[in-house]
Structure 1
Amino acid sequence: MLKPYIENINKIKSEISSIGEEISHANKISLSALKENDLSMLKDVNLSLKQLSTKSNDIDKLIVKTLALYSPEAKDLREMVSFLKITNELIRAAAYSKTFAKNFRKSFSEDLNSEAILEYAIPLLKSSNLALQTAIEMVLEDDEKIIEQKFNKVLVEDSKTDDLYAMVEKNILKLITKKIELSKDYFEVLSSLRKLEKISGRAASIANLLVFAEVGGDLENV
């Protein structure tokens, strides 16, 4: 393969990974805020969707340029198509991360049962971000066996987030029946936690795209 093509691919992977790491870092700040029960820390989540979108667009332009110049063969073409879709998945994940930090801080009040909420919210955020981190690690990985291992790990964490969200939803609905006057606040908290489940869903989509890039398959099911 031509050296300029390889250099472009490496740059694309590096830039995609950089966006993913920025989102993951924001989620880690949110996780620390929940663990320490200090929601003022959520103000430090300063993801700029505008800047990330600009970076994403720059990556997409480089992908299109590389496709036009080098006409990659089957596997390489799958990889490039996957990268185009992955940048979009990352922007969606970033939006969910930012919305969670903003809305959870606004809706959470001293009147709510923080212990019952955080019991599942903390592991939910942890699993969600682990799914994202693992999916991002797959971007820079070339070993097919390791890609498969990480893919399975992403699916496990995504399944965990589904279960954890169901648990916290059940807890919050019970709390609402006891204090119906706080139902609006509880529903807003639940809505913000739903964004964490969606982040892991985006991670699963990224992982599926990377497996498609490596081994092929039906892109419509990715």
Structure 2
Amino acid sequence: MRTDHIVRSFAQELQRLANLVTQMGGVAEAQVDAAVKAVARRDVGLAAQVMQADQRIDAYERDIDAETIRLLALRQPLAQDLREIVSALKISSDLERIGDYASNIAKRSLALAQVPVVRPAVAIPRMGKLVEQIMKDVLDAYTERDVAKAIAAWERDEDLDDLYTSLFREVLTYMMEDPRNITPCTHLLFMAKNLERIGDHATNIAETIHFLVVGAPLRGERPKSDGSSFAVVSPESDDKGAGHAA
């Protein structure tokens, strides 16, 4: 009977740990959504809330760190139980970084709200929507232990990279057309990069879910198509004096 009690108690502790990760994921997801809305609405009040709420995500990470250390020391878990604990630790680290990037986007939106609107800004909510969908899918996959859903989200990172590359080229063109666009476009580039990095951390979580459920790393090369490193924008002499994305 005592052994059964210990097993039940450990299962409950693992479930509490998983619940902490799920709660942290919900906060991170809300932070990304709010940060993108702050950009789209030029809402400095909402941006400030996002920056202040980053402390909640940090607190979750500290709690998960403490709980995983306690469980490892007291329970000496093996196999699936060990993967549950290690995965919680890895996922919380990715979620903490996602919270940092959301805070960075909010911080940039404060500066962006002080300058005239530039057309490429509409691409940020579009990127944000895709990032939020990927995050939702990986967090649902974690709750449901659904490997297929995790892999599907992992594969969508390529779509996010395509959006980022397209925005990168458009923003460079705008900066060449008018020096007054340099300041807002620079902030947009950093925001877009932050969203792209959030997508990378979401795919990290998808890979961790695969390890958690299957017990082996996800095979195959991560789908990446970020072409921004190779983007070249050359001035084109025409009647409008517009730039041309190469």
Match of 1:27 in 2: 32
Q: Is the 8 A contact 2:29 2:135 kept in 1?
A: yes
Match of 2:149 in 1: 150
**Which of the pair has the greater relative contact order for Cα pairs under 8 Å at 6+ separation?**
1
User: Structure 2 vs 1, CA of residues 50 and 121 (structure 1 numbering), >3 Å: closer, same or farther?
Assistant: closer
Between Structure 1 and Structure 2, the one with more helix by share is: 1
Distance 1:184 1:164 in 2: 21
Corresponding residue SS for 2:144: coil
The one of 74, 78, 87 aligned to 1:73: 78
Instruction: Return the offset for 1:180.
Output: 2.3
Distance 2:116 2:37 in 1: 22
Distance 2:183 2:157 in 1: 28
Instruction: Return the offset for 1:195.
Output: 0.5
Distance 2:115 2:51 in 1: 24
Distance 2:196 2:110 in 1: 17
Instruction: Return the offset for 1:110.
Output: 4.4
Corresponding residue SS for 2:168: helix
> Is the counterpart of residue 39 in structure 1 residue 43 in structure 2?
yes
Match of 1:7 in 2: 12
Q: Which runs of 4+ in 1 moved over 4 A?
A: none
Instruction: Return the offset for 1:112.
Output: 4.0
- Larger radius of gyration, structure 1 or 2? 2
Distance 1:12 1:109 in 2: 42
Q: Is the 8 A contact 2:24 2:95 kept in 1?
A: yes
Corresponding residue SS for 1:45: helix
> Is the counterpart of residue 213 in structure 1 residue 212 in structure 2?
yes
> Is the counterpart of residue 116 in structure 1 residue 115 in structure 2?
no
Structural mapping, 1:137-216, within 5 Å: 137-142=140-145, 147-216=146-215
Distance 1:18 1:55 in 2: 8
Corresponding residue SS for 2:116: coil
Instruction: Return the offset for 1:217.
Output: 2.1
Instruction: Return the offset for 1:211.
Output: 0.8
Instruction: Return the offset for 1:91.
Output: 0.7
Instruction: Return the offset for 1:184.
Output: 3.3
Instruction: Give CA deviations for 1:53-95 in whole Å, capped at 9, x if unaligned.
Output: 2321221221122222222221221221121111111111100
Q: Is the 8 A contact 2:28 2:57 kept in 1?
A: no
Q: Tell me which amino acid in the other structure corresponds to 1:138.
A: A
RMSD: 2.4
Q: Is the 8 A contact 2:29 2:132 kept in 1?
A: yes
Distance 1:33 1:62 in 2: 34
User: Structure 2 vs 1, CA of residues 211 and 218 (structure 1 numbering), >3 Å: closer, same or farther?
Assistant: closer
Instruction: Return the offset for 1:47.
Output: 4.6
> Is the counterpart of residue 135 in structure 1 residue 138 in structure 2?
yes
Identity %: 21
Distance 1:87 1:196 in 2: 18
Distance 1:54 1:44 in 2: 16
Distance 1:185 1:116 in 2: 10
Instruction: Return the offset for 1:9.
Output: 0.9
Unaligned runs of 5+ in 2: 223-246
Q: Tell me which amino acid in the other structure corresponds to 2:112.
A: S
Q: Is the 8 A contact 1:12 1:59 kept in 2?
A: yes
Q: Is the 8 A contact 1:117 1:168 kept in 2?
A: no
Instruction: Return the offset for 1:34.
Output: 4.7
